[in-house]
Amino acid sequence: MQSNIVSPPPFLSKAHDPYAAWRVPAFRRYFIGNAVLFAGWQMQKVAVGWEIYERTGSALYLGYAGLAQFFPQVLWALVAGHVTDTFNRKRVFMCALAFNALASLGLALNSVRGGSVYWIYGCLFATGTARAFFIPARAAFLPRIIPLQIFSNAVSWNSTGFEIASMTGPAIGGLLIGFFRSATLVYTITAAGALTFVVLLSTILYKHQPQDRPPLTVRALSAGFRFIWKQKVVLSAVMLDMFGVLLGGATAMMPIYAKDILQVGPRGLGWLMAAPSIGACSMALLQAHRGPLQKAGRTLLFAVAGFGTVTIVFGISRHFWLSMAMLCLLGSCDNISVVVRSTLVQVLTPDEMRGRVSALNGLFIGTSNELGAFESGLVAGLFGATFSVVSGGIGTILVVAAIAWLFPQLRRYGRLDETAQ
């Protein structure tokens, strides 16, 4: 495997430095741009849902919004990974962000003119296309500006920024829409956030390593699949997270729990929705300060098993504060899984393959999110919300047991930074 082109900075030593990533100037700019971008995306998500429902009054039309963004990400995933590994990643990254900004400006223009709702779907399709290229470019770009020895620290801090954006973005978006009675300003701010990231990226020194440019063939596109299949630690980590998300869909059932089971109403629903992010943010800060995990493979297995366990307890809970506690723990377990999986995938993947592998990783996780919500709703419709959540938690634990048995390589995997030494 090619070594990371970034040399370890002089502040790296055996003693863990919880702020190691922050001492890299390029990471500071990257973090700010990333946090601003994700906050904007969360604001735009609220705005799109509000505007579509305000115009149509149809839950089905709301579903189309998710489909309009999801379909292009599936359509372009393999091509985007190939492009990321073939061309200058920084340029691919910046072009994806610029295209995303144009899509948001299109939403703003349509909003201020009161245009067709179908134009919204067109802009969302463009947004999904931009994100299809953004996901692998972003994932493959970070290891080129951060030494792999402190990569897990950078992932933990990035996760903190994402969770803060997830908590504050929707609230800010809702306040702006409520004050101005329009989504136009929110779309404009989202575009400005993407362009801010472009400007910050332009200041980061990045040395592109020219790669051979193989033709766009089925073999070239499927190289990521072949690598993941051969690298059993990466395969097992991706499968574990994918099936955990697919089966443990407690969040999709929160409206039912808030209204019919816990009977806490819209305000309680807001707290329930925020609880996983609170737990995830707390765990991300803890992971940044405690240093690389000594037994990363076992920790990942226990984290996903814990995810399934707290899902079961949440499913049978009839007390609001117990449910809140379980959702906070759910977010904490999920954050451990995200940090470990993201670090393993990047550390164990050769630099020339990172775009294609990251594209597939993003596709698998994104697909499992969408299918997980559908699966939870389908089972809940047939057998009830409690059965849906509890059975999903049990299924998650069974998946952990199966993967732990089938992939001893994952069980034995040690320090997250051991491959980067």
Residue 364, pLDDT > 60, answer yes
Quick one: pLDDT at residue 403?
94
Look at residues 284, 275, 278, 322 and name the one whose alpha carbon lies nearest to residue 303: 284
Confidence of residue 322 (pLDDT cuts 50, 70, 90): very high
Query: What fold, for 222-421?
Result: Growth Hormone; Chain: A; (1.20.1250)
Its pTM stands at: 0.80
Provide CB contacts within 8 A for 369, sequence distance 6+: 245
In CATH terms, 18-205 corresponds, of 3.40.50.300, 1.10.10.10, 3.40.47.10, 1.20.1250.20, to: 1.20.1250.20
Quick one: pLDDT at residue 127?
94
**Complete DSSP assignment for 222-280:** THHHHHHHH-HHHHHHHHHHHHHHHH--GGGGHHHIIIIIS--HHHHHHHHHHHHHHHH
Look at residues 241, 245, 249 and name the one whose alpha carbon lies nearest to residue 344: 241
Quick one: pLDDT at residue 13?
45
Residue 418, pLDDT > 70, answer no
* pLDDT digits 0-9 by tens, 163-210: 888 888 888 888 888 888 888 999 999 999 999 999 999 999 877 665
Same CATH fold assignment for domains 18-205 and 222-421: yes
The amino acid that residue 259 corresponds to is K
* pLDDT digits 0-9 by tens, 67-116: 888 889 889 988 999 898 888 999 999 999 999 999 999 999 999 998 89
* pLDDT digits 0-9 by tens, 116-153: 999 999 999 999 999 999 999 998 898 888 887 888 88
Higher confidence at residue 215 or residue 113? 113
CA 290 to chain CA centroid, nearest Å: 22
Task: Domain ranges for the chain, please list them.
Answer: 18-205, 222-421
**Token pair listed for 419:** 């491959």
CA dihedral 418, 35, 124, 73 (to 10 degrees): 0
d(CA 107, CA 110): 5
Please state, as a whole number, how many other Cβ atoms lie within 10 Å of the Cβ of residue 269: 17
